[in-house]
Amino acid sequence: MPVAAIGTTTVTAISRRIIRDIIVDNVYNSNVLFYRWNRMNKIIEKGGFQIEQPLMYTPMSGGGWYTGPQTLSVPQSDTIQNSVFAWKQAYGNVTVDGLTQLQADSPQKVADYLASQFKQCEMQLADLLGYGIWADGTNPQTIDGVAEAVDDGTSIASYGGITRSSNPWWKAQVDSTTTTMTLAALQNLWGATQDGGQTPTIIISSQANYNRYWALNQSFQQFPQQPGGQDTQLAQAGFTNLVFNNVPWLVDSHLPSTGGPYFLNENYWELIVNDKANFYVQDFVKPPNQDAMTSLMVWAGNASCSNVARQGKFTALTA
């Protein structure tokens, strides 16, 4: 390999370079939904051929009012069926050749080479999973993501092995006609996803739709603060947010091109992860004919929504 340039003046020859010991991320963007679910909605499972979620989808047939010795209707009820999800796998890798190991093993090093490589590998794998959580099912190897689950059958005919056309209770609330964002339109979708005390717990959109909601709030501004308030915990984690009906509204750069916003009730979502593949770092492997070694960081799991009807999205907002 060519030799790096050397000092050609007294100053450049005898002065050391100043290299900061903090490596700044300029690659990985906001990843709010994976960050949130990996902390709050993660379920660790051990093995199993596939992931199945029992769903109560219809009321029982019997029951009612009666008087005295009246003959009662007591039919047997079949009210549960399962959704099914396959294990999905993702990986990152750290590969280093022997010469790089020798060069990086210096007493003047400003950062541990392998530690920084594994840290970036972890960030890259989390970024990959962040896109996977929003997947629409086009790639069968990815997570069964939000875009696949939150649909009314128009674009995604089935989810979790259940066909929507014959199971209307398995359809999400989709507004495909509103093109201009208004508070009334937002409230209508909110109402469609609401059921008693169950309401959306987070709203996620593109930056463009976040800006539109921000602009809607300007007429209500009275104090120099974030319009609509903000969720303190998310703000402390670095995720700027607005609030609609006391629910945080955030931008996730991993969102599909439609840009939402998505109204999600996270009480019905789980991020299911295998206990042996939760960012697990495998041992380094060295080929017998190469001075290099590789370690894989692996993840296996899937996302599961158990009540699609309580989820909603806009698909046509342009203003």
The reported pLDDT for the residue numbered 186 is 96
Write the CA distances from 297 to 25, 126, 246, 266, 283, integer angstroms: 20, 11, 38, 27, 9
The reported pLDDT for the residue numbered 219 is 61
If pLDDT is split at 50, 70 and 90, which confidence band does 62 have?
confident
Which CATH code fits 32-56+80-179+259-314?
Answer: 3.30.2400
Residue 43 has pLDDT above 80, yes or no: yes
Reading the block at residue 100, the tokens are: 């790089």
If pLDDT is split at 50, 70 and 90, which confidence band does 225 have?
very low
The reported pLDDT for the residue numbered 102 is 87
* Residues near 181 by beta carbon (within 8 Å), at least 6 away in sequence: 209, 212, 213, 216, 314, 317, 319
- What is the average pLDDT across 128-132? 95
15 or 273: which carries more pLDDT confidence?
Answer: 273
Instruction: Locate the domains of the chain by residue range.
Output: 32-56+80-179+259-314
Do you find a cis peptide bond into 261, omega within 30 degrees of 0? Answer: yes
- What is the average pLDDT across 69-90? 91
Question: What predicted TM-score, i.e. pTM, was given to this entire model?
Answer: 0.83
Question: Which tens digit of pLDDT belongs to each residue from 166-185?
Answer: 999 999 999 999 999 999 99
Q: Tokens 């092995």 sit at which residue? A: 161
The reported pLDDT for the residue numbered 105 is 81
Question: Which tens digit of pLDDT belongs to each residue from 184-209?
Answer: 999 999 999 999 889 999 999 999 99
Query: Which has the closest alpha carbon to 150: 170, 130, 128?
Result: 170
The reported pLDDT for the residue numbered 104 is 82
- What is the average pLDDT across 37-51? 90
> With pLDDT > 90 as the criterion, what percentage of the chain qualifies?
61
The reported pLDDT for the residue numbered 70 is 93
> With pLDDT > 70 as the criterion, what percentage of the chain qualifies?
82
The reported pLDDT for the residue numbered 277 is 94
The reported pLDDT for the residue numbered 229 is 52
Question: Which tens digit of pLDDT belongs to each residue from 16-36?
Answer: 555 555 555 544 556 889 988
Reading the block at residue 21, the tokens are: 């010991």
Averaged pLDDT of the chain: 86
The reported pLDDT for the residue numbered 78 is 85
Reading the block at residue 60, the tokens are: 């029982």
The reported pLDDT for the residue numbered 20 is 52
Q: Tokens 């974030």 sit at which residue? A: 226
If pLDDT is split at 50, 70 and 90, which confidence band does 12 have?
low
Residue 260 has pLDDT above 60, yes or no: yes
DSSP 195: B
* Residues near 216 by beta carbon (within 8 Å), at least 6 away in sequence: 181, 182, 183
